[in-house]
């Protein structure tokens, strides 16, 4: 059993949630590719520029809280476009960029499923 190695482990058979602040470098994508714009039509670059010039702050602006899932030692964002922008912001500044996460911690049953899930013929 690898419970001791996990970043976060649910203590019950129910998924749990936790709020974390972590370096953006610790957060992984859940998708291979993303669209070049947000659902409202605005370009990703507009958020990146806003972060660089200080218009937006990942530790203060609520829309920059990312939903994530803890799987083993990794954190995966469900908000891939915003994560992309935050990672691009990190590449443009010298200081470590931290992000706020609302993390779902899978139940023990879900964790077991994820550990055994290897089928690609779904």
What pTM did the predictor assign? 0.79
Q: How far apart are CA 101 and CA 44, in angstroms?
A: 20
pLDDT in tens, the chain (122 residues): 344 445 555 555 666 788 999 999 999 999 999 999 999 999 999 999 999 999 999 999 999 999 999 887 899 999 999 999 999 999 999 999 999 999 988 777 777 777 777 766 55
Q: How far apart are CA 97 and CA 5, in angstroms?
A: 25
Q: Are 30 and 70 in contact (CB under 8 A)?
A: no
Assigned domain for 122 exists:
no
Assigned domain for 91 exists:
yes
Assigned domain for 121 exists:
no
Check which CATH number belongs to the domain holding 48 and give it. Answer: 3.90.1530
Assigned domain for 53 exists:
yes
Assigned domain for 9 exists:
yes
- Compute CA distances 111 → 8, 41, 42, 82, 118, whole Å: 11, 36, 36, 26, 13
Query: Which range of residues forms the domain containing residue 21?
Result: 3-116
């Amino acid at each position: 059993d690898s419970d001791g190695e996990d970043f976060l482990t649910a203590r019950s058979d129910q998924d749990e949630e936790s709020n974390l602040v972590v370096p953006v470098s610790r957060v992984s994508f859940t998708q291979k590719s993303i669209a070049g714009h947000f659902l409202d039509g605005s370009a990703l670059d507009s958020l990146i520029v806003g972060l660089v010039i200080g218009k937006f702050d990942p530790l203060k602006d609520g829309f920059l809280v990312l939903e994530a899932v803890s799987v083993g030692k990794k954190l995966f964002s469900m908000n891939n476009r915003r994560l992309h922008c935050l990672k691009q912001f990190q590449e443009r500044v010298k200081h470590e960029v931290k992000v706020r996460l609302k993390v779902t911690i899978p139940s023990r049953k879900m964790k077991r499923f994820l550990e055994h899930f290897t089928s690609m013929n779904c």
